[in-house]
Amino acid sequence: MHLLKVLQKNRSLLLVSSGHFTVDIFGNLWPVMFPLLALSFGLSYAQVGLIATLYQTSSSLGQPLFGYLGDRFGSRFLASGGIMSTACCVSLVGYIPSYPALLTLAAIAGLGSAAFHPQGALSTAYMGGEHKGTNMSIFTMGGTTGFALGPLIGAALIIRHGLQGLVFLALPASLYGLWLYRTMKELDRRRVAVAVPSDDAPRGAIPFGKLSIVILISTLRAWAIAGVITYIPLLYKERGFGVDFSSQIIFLIIGFSVFGMFGGGFLADRFSPKLVVSASLLLATPAILLFLHTPFPSLIVFAVLTGILLEASLPITLVAAQELLPRYVGMASGLALGLSFTVGAIGILLTGLLADRHGLLMALSLLAMPSFLGALLSLGFPEIARTRERRIKVVV
């Protein structure tokens, strides 16, 4: 009921969340493509990890810049163009003739994702109201739902048509991008109208210490979830399972993480954001290990818990970064999302290198450490996301 009330009150939030849903479908098609790509090009674990790393890195490093551009010039061109770019590039993977060309396409697709994400978070931040944590949860839930459905959609098309079947996704996503460009015109106009901070809005030096803690927690969380999702299809291939099984496990992890995101934002609006971040990351540590080492069907329970607990802190850290940089909300969103994706991308490559030397299961088991370190760092998490409201007059 709380979720429906928020959406009914602000339909623009549903619009932006739908864009997030669309772009993130393509962001998570990679894992179900990796077994076929590894076979086609004869790739090692590290080479597979490099594909994911290039996509994640280009998506990450571009976000602060695109966020700054959104602060200055508006969001709709970057948001819609980002969706269309990512959709077209990922859909063409089945037609790529060589590994170097594949790496190039992955990097370009990542830039499209980088263009969209800070624009969506920027627009969500200016929707205001007293439920900022819940609003950001709904925005992140849109992306996570697309991220969860991506492997299922991709697996269905790949099983029936091979990698070339992904091209069928390009047209509907591009049409949605064009529609988003038209409908975001009014949203951009409203954002500019309300984006003037009040006289008592924070000024002065950037709080680098607090901002660093928020971003580092976000990056450690991203490393853990990205590593698990990327290599799960390869792990279950070793265990004799097909791409349909691994896509369903990824769906469980990401699909149930939606409940973690909404629950995290909801609880942060009512209790201590620090407590929610600390508890979720601490509990995620044993959940990851139990998921990896528990046989089927019991692993399903721990797959669900891994998704819920790892992603519960995502909307909280994003709101916290925006609160620490209230005059540069787009850039703050780009930093919180972009830098976390960068470390996640580097972590994917590191996990691949460790897997080549010590085995995939051992390398994945070490992904419990980033979650534990994030829980320790959360002891210094700034108590601002709930306790201070930015005074923005929102036009509804």
Taking only the tens place, the pLDDT of each residue in 195-217 is: 544 444 445 566 777 888 888 88
Q: State the Cα–Cα distance between residues 250 and 233, nearest whole angstrom.
A: 8
Query: Which pair of structure tokens corresponds to residue 151?
Result: 């492997």
Give the per-residue pLDDT at 198. Answer: 45
Which of 318, 347, 316 has its CA nearest to residue 231? 347
How many helices (H) does the chain have, and how many strands (E)?
Answer: 16, 0
The structure's pTM equals 0.64
Query: Across residues 46-63, what is the average pLDDT?
Result: 82
Give the per-residue pLDDT at 330. Answer: 65
In eight-state DSSP terms, residue 243 is H
Average pLDDT, the chain: 79
Residue 297: is the preceding peptide bond cis (ω within 30°)? Answer: yes
- Contact between residue 76 and residue 83 where contact means Cβ atoms under 8 Å apart: no
Query: Across residues 323-335, what is the average pLDDT?
Result: 70
Q: State the Cα–Cα distance between residues 146 and 387, nearest whole angstrom.
A: 31
Q: What are the pLDDT digits (tens) for 337-387?
A: 667 777 777 787 788 888 888 888 889 999 899 889 989 988 888 875 443
Q: What are the pLDDT digits (tens) for 227-250?
A: 888 888 888 888 888 777 887 888
- Longest pairwise C-alpha distance within the chain: 63
Evaluate if residue 87 carries a pLDDT over 80: yes
Query: Across residues 16-31, what is the average pLDDT?
Result: 85
Q: What is the CA radius of gyration of the chain?
A: 20
Q: What are the pLDDT digits (tens) for 241-300?
A: 877 788 788 888 877 887 888 788 778 777 788 888 889 999 999 999 999 898 888 888
